[in-house]
Every structure is written in structure tokens, then in C-alpha cells.
Structure 1
Amino acid sequence: MSPNHQKHTDKWWETEYGENIHSYLQYCEVKWRIMYKFAARSPQIHMRPVLLKTIRSLSKKYEMSNACVHLAVLLLDFFMDNHDLKFDTIMLVMFACLTLAAKIEEHCFIIPKLNSMRNVISRDVTNSLLRKVEMKILMFFNCSVAVPTVAHFIELYKEHCYHDKDFSDCGAARRLKDQFDSMILFYQDVSLESLKLISYNPSMIAASIILTTRHTLRLAPCWTVKLRKVTGYLKKDLVQCCSLLGRNVMQHRKYVPPVDEGYQSSSPVFRSPIIMGTRKKRTHIDMPSIISSKRLAF
């Protein structure tokens, strides 16, 4: 066996092309980016918590990955921001976003079936109509729906989120991975609930989650040279995003997972500014004319 031969791994960041792949993912997130207008007057915006809860419920039922959930929510957010959806249509659009995300991120056996949504979607909805909705979403995004999300970047960044010096004793190091993973998943889940975070690039949100986790544990320094090199972000680049993340925790009265005694300290108080957004007009989508609307110019 050649000394340069690498053992097969499913972790792309552990390959010799890891840095190149990360750079390409950051390029893709910027190239794909669509302006989000914070359309608070949208008739369906009040349903977002329900839609998010349904996506989480289905993802848990079908054992979907975080990458699938984040991609489904991303597609849904930007699609809703550009269309008016009737009540009887919005659940179908949400499900179509989830199935598209599953077709990209999951094994074919994990893709949810229409029958699993019969309790919230009309029984008159057929698989043919679901495919038409999927096609409408694909057309809106110019078929570019395989985009990097927060979950993709988190997998890389969390590998560098701690080191031995962060802990006061060796016993804590044995439990640190589970503790960090739990808190990172918590903040990752919280990030889905904030509308204001949608306008930030996924890599920045992911890096902010790592910074917030270390800051919550009061690990010093909370942003290391290694993390700066891996993510490409300075600490000052992430402060505003971290503040929004922390604000969402406080607004929803989220419970921060308990800190292991092996950590050097406990969580701090969050301080965050309020960022206001603008509004925009959007097209209208109806169930019979699901393919009629077109992408807006930005």
C-alpha cells in the first residue's frame, strides 16, 4: 500500500481536499444567495412556527439528518418570501420542500411519502400535484437546490471547537465531545427559528454557533487561531450574528443545556441588537395554478 494512500472516510474535511471543498462551499453559498426581504406582511409568515414544527416532526419520524432539515427550511423560507400562498397550499409547499431536501441529502428509502401528511393535507392532493409543486420550487431556484446549509459547515467547524487546554481536568475531556455536541445541536436548532438570521450566510451562522458555544462555556479564548483559520472569520465578523442567536434564545426562553463541571465556567448573559428588515411585493400562487408564478428580479 502506498504511504500516501488515505483510508476511506465519509468526512470530506478529513481528506486532502478538505480545505478546497470548504472554500467551494463558501463560494456556492454566496453565488446562490437570494436577498431575503423579511416580508412580515406575508399572509403565511405567521404559520412559519407550525411549518417548522411539522418539518421537525417528520424528520424525526423518518430519521432524517440535520442537513436535510436545514435545507428544507432554507428552501421554504426563500420560496415563501417571494410568493403569497393560500392556507390549503402552504402545507403542500412545505412538504414539497422537505421531499426535495430528502432527495438530495438522504437515502431513497428515507424520503417521506404523501400519505404521511394526510392529517394536514387534503386527501384530494395527488402525487402528481406534489410533483408539480416540486417542479415549481425547482423552477423558482433555477434547479439549484443542492446548496450548503448551516448543518454542512457545522460538521467541519465542530471538529475544531475545543482543545485540551479548555478543560480543568482530564476527566472532563472524556465527556467533552458529547457535551459540546449537545450544546451545538441546541444552538443549531435555535438558529432555525430566527427570521433575522436568514440573511446571513450559513457558514457565518455555523461559525457563530461555535463561538456562542465557547462563549456560553466561557472558554478562553472564545475564538481560537485554529477556528479563525478553518472558518475564515474573525471574531468581530461574528459578533452581530451571535447576538441575534442569543436574542432568539432569550425571546423564546430556551433552556441552555447544563454545563459539565469539568468545564471552566458556566453560561453568560446574552446581549443582542435588533436588526430591522425591508419589505417587498411577491407573486401569488394558487392550488390550480401552481406553476403559473415566476421568479422575481432582485
Structure 2
Amino acid sequence: MLEESVWMAEELKLPMYKAHSPQIGMRRYFIDLLTVLSNHCNLCPMARHLAIYLLDLFMDRYDITVKQLHITSFACLLLASKFEEKEDKVPKLEHLNNLAYMCNVNVVLNKKDLLRTEMLLLENFNWNLYLPTPAHYIDYYLYVSIGENDLHNGWPITSLTKIKDFLEKYAYYFLDFSVQDHTFLHFRPSLIAAACVCASRICMQISPAWTTQLELLTCYSWEHLAQCIEMMLM
């Protein structure tokens, strides 16, 4: 609970995303690239989402070449993995170059360029990577995502564990879906995570769609979440 409270306090300090990048049309490609890279490196969702968020903020402020964007993407992945993962999970240079080749990225990474780009990123973020993303909240919210009084298709739930496992898969689907469209960046990360849980309950026909317990935990009412949920379910 304390950690989540700290994250929510940090949310208020997040820089405003303006969607001003002249290369915003390439954003989807780079998000997909980071997703593939993080999956091959077996990075946790928090590292993956932080890497994407770092790239989004950087692209929003600077106009750089496509080659530099590729290097920056790898640097974001490295920084995020160093921040969120144990040391032995941080990708090595050789592995990153192998992945770049596999993904048809026409860039050969070297330690000097990566280090320089990492330093540039750190300076750009004032050496603060304590930036909450929806992935930092999702497990906390999933803890109370299903209650004993919930109904599934109008009937009492016979196996809370089974339903909760299915709902978790839905929630992580919506979590990854939310990074595909930059307009989600106009919502608070905690709100997106809450919307992921609510959208999952709707898809699984669990009623009510949003409970008092979830509202108390997340501090979001149905009215707060409605627009974000609508975007997820379009």
C-alpha cells in the first residue's frame, strides 16, 4: 500500500505529454520493436512499459534521425531494465545486437553510443527514472479484482481463482493495448490500470462492472474511468 501511495504521489510530477513529436507516425513501429525486444529479453511488464514511456517522452521533446531513434530505443530498454530488473536480467550488448539483426534493424550498437545515449536520457529526465506507468499498479489492483459477491453471467462464481486467472490475462492484454495509442498518455497511469481491470470485468461479463472495493482501492469511480474504458473496448 505504501509503495502504491508513493507512485500516486509521483504521478502528479509526471511531465505533460503533448504528442508534438514530428516522428509520431513512427511511434507504433518503435513501440512494437520495444515490445519484441523486451519479450525476447524476458523483461517484466514494468521494465517494458517504462522503456516505452521513456521513449515517448524523449520523442515528444526532440527531432532526431531514424538511426538515432533506434539507438535511443535500445538505450531506453537498457535504462528501464537496469531500473526495474535484477542485474543478471539486464540485456548484454551482444544479445541486443543479435536481436537488432533478428528484427531487421539496420543498426550495429556499440558500447560508446549506447552509454552516450543513456547519459543523454538520464540528463533529460534529471536522473529520475522513478516514473510510474500503468504496469506499476496493475498487480495491486488485480489483488481485489474479483470479490465473493460478484456474479459471472448472472450467476455466483464457483471458482474465484479460475476467474481471477482469466481476468488477469484480459487485464494484461488491455495493459499492452494501452501503449499502442499515444492518446492514452493523456490519462494518469493509475487510471489506465484501473480501466484495464474494469474493461476486463466487462469482457468477462462480471457484475457489477465496478465495485465499491475497487473504487476505494483505486480512488476512481466509474465516471472517472468511463472514457478510458470506452477507448479500450472500441
In the TM superposition, 1:121-270 aligns within 5 A as 121-123=106-108, 125-166=109-150, 167=152, 168=155, 171-247=158-234
2:41 alignment partner AA = Y
Instruction: Report the CA distance shift for 1:53/1:210 in structure 2 as closer, same or farther (over 3 A).
Output: same
Asked if the contact 1:153/1:203 (under 8 Å) is kept, the reply is: yes
Equivalent AA in structure 2 for residue 37 of structure 1: K
Alpha-carbon contact 1:194-1:245 (below 8 Å) kept: no
1:53-92 matched pairs, under 5 angstroms? 53-92=32-71
Once superposed, which parts of structure 1, at least 4 consecutive aligned residues long, lie more than 6 Å away?
Answer: none
Q: How many residues align?
A: 225
Q: Taking every aligned residue pair, what percent have the same amino acid on both sides?
A: 30
TM-score between the two structures when normalised by the length of structure 2: 0.90
Contact 2:17 2:60 in 1 (8 A): yes
Q: 1:45 to 1:114 in 2, by over 3 A?
A: farther
Summarize the Cα distance change of 1:244–1:169 in structure 2 as closer, same or farther, 3 Å threshold: closer
Which structure dedicates a bigger proportion of its chain to helix?
A: 2
SS in 2 for 1:81: helix
Q: Does 1:98 align with 2:80?
A: no
Partner SS for 1:88? helix
SS, match of residue 38 in structure 1: coil
Q: Report the Cα distance in structure 2 between the residues aligned to 1:242 and 1:26, rounded to whole angstroms.
A: 20
Q: Secondary structure at the match of 1:46?
A: helix
Deviation at 1:148, TM superposition (A): 1.7
Tell me the TM-score normalised to structure 1 length.
0.71
Residue 24 of structure 1 corresponds to which residue in structure 2?
Answer: 6
Please tell me whether the aligned partners of residues 92 and 121 of structure 1 are also in contact (alpha carbons under 8 angstroms): no
